[in-house]
Amino acid sequence: MSSSTSDTGPAQRPKLKVFQGREAPEPVIRGWASFMALPTSAQQGFMELLTVTVTESDEGAIHRAIQAFSEGQALDVEAVGAALAATQTLLRQAAALNLEGADFVQDLQELSGEDTRTPRIMASRYGPLKERVRETLLLQTLADHGKVLVDLDWRVDRVTSSDRLAGPEATVVLLSLTLQDAGGMERVSVQLTPQSVKLLQGFCNRFSGSN
């Protein structure tokens, strides 16, 4: 008597565009499976968690957000953490490559098998989240080589007199700039005279709406 056996070996991991045609890492596959296992209502809430953490660099803040979401949804913290890590990786990789939405959805479907619901939920936020991630990546790229303006505050002062000046009061704008580089953040304050304000306004008008 003879018999035959079939040795299929380990399941082959899907090759995805977000990884430039390479196989998806095992943690991404497991994390995506954890995301698919969430109830639909929890998946919708999970997308809010992804939205607020995808560009967050503070690991403590991310951990607290995971805990709060897990407790609120009565979910396992480790499963939620694995799902978040996987979806962040997929989104960040896709954003870095400026992957088209259709290609991103195709990758998600490769991971999802017959489940079409989960890729649609993820894809519904792809456009805005991709832009947020790309803005963050651009900022990090520039900050590696110099200072980047990331925020500003201002107030208007009036100078009535000084040991150098008398007469009608003058309007001065105090502008505090928040700058970021590879070493962190710093604030620099500058004072703008009316002429300086006109120079700055002309500059902004020139580049308004440019990409």
Residues written for the chain: 211
**Average pLDDT, integer, range 100-112:** 96
pLDDT at 114 > cutoff 50 = yes
pLDDT confidence of residue 183: 78
pLDDT at 132 > cutoff 60 = yes
DSSP sequence for 135-168: HHHHHHHHHTSS-EEEEEEEEEEEE---SS--SS
Question: CA-to-CA distance for 171 and 48, rounded, in angstroms?
Answer: 44
pLDDT at 50 > cutoff 70 = yes
pLDDT confidence of residue 2: 40
- Read off the pLDDT band of 53 (50, 70, 90): very high
36 phi and psi angles, rounded to 5 deg: -65, -30
